[in-house]
Structure 1
Amino acid sequence: MMARRSTLAAAVMLCGGMLATRAPAQDSDSARLNAVLACATIDKKSARLACYDAQAQGGGAAA
């Protein structure tokens, strides 16, 4: 019975650690989406395309 509790406790801690490491990636995904949406607000076609290109390449510069 004690070994079973230890196994369960280890599994819970492992899963909790995996969930904790996912949070920054979700923040990054949200930031990336917001940056792409910001590109859509750019009126000048060439600047908007440059913004989308920068986001697709993993850069920034959503201006």
Structure 2
Amino acid sequence: MANIAQSGDVIIFERGGLTVKGMVFKIRNNSALVKINHSMAASLGLETPMTVVNHKNYRVDEV
């Protein structure tokens, strides 16, 4: 299994056919709460720049 992110980590995930980068601000048992930039949120049709990503659906950015 991939590494589980920690608060403050940057993760990369796919959403709506786009590759999205965001910062984890809270970890739950099965998912991470992530803040993305406002323009990406608008591109994805989200009302806020926050989203939830299952641990199976992202990778931690090593940069």
Q: Give TM-score scaled by structure 1 length.
A: 0.26
Higher Cα Rg, which structure: 1
Higher normalized contact order (CA 8 Å, seq sep 6+, divided by chain length): 2
More strand by share: 2
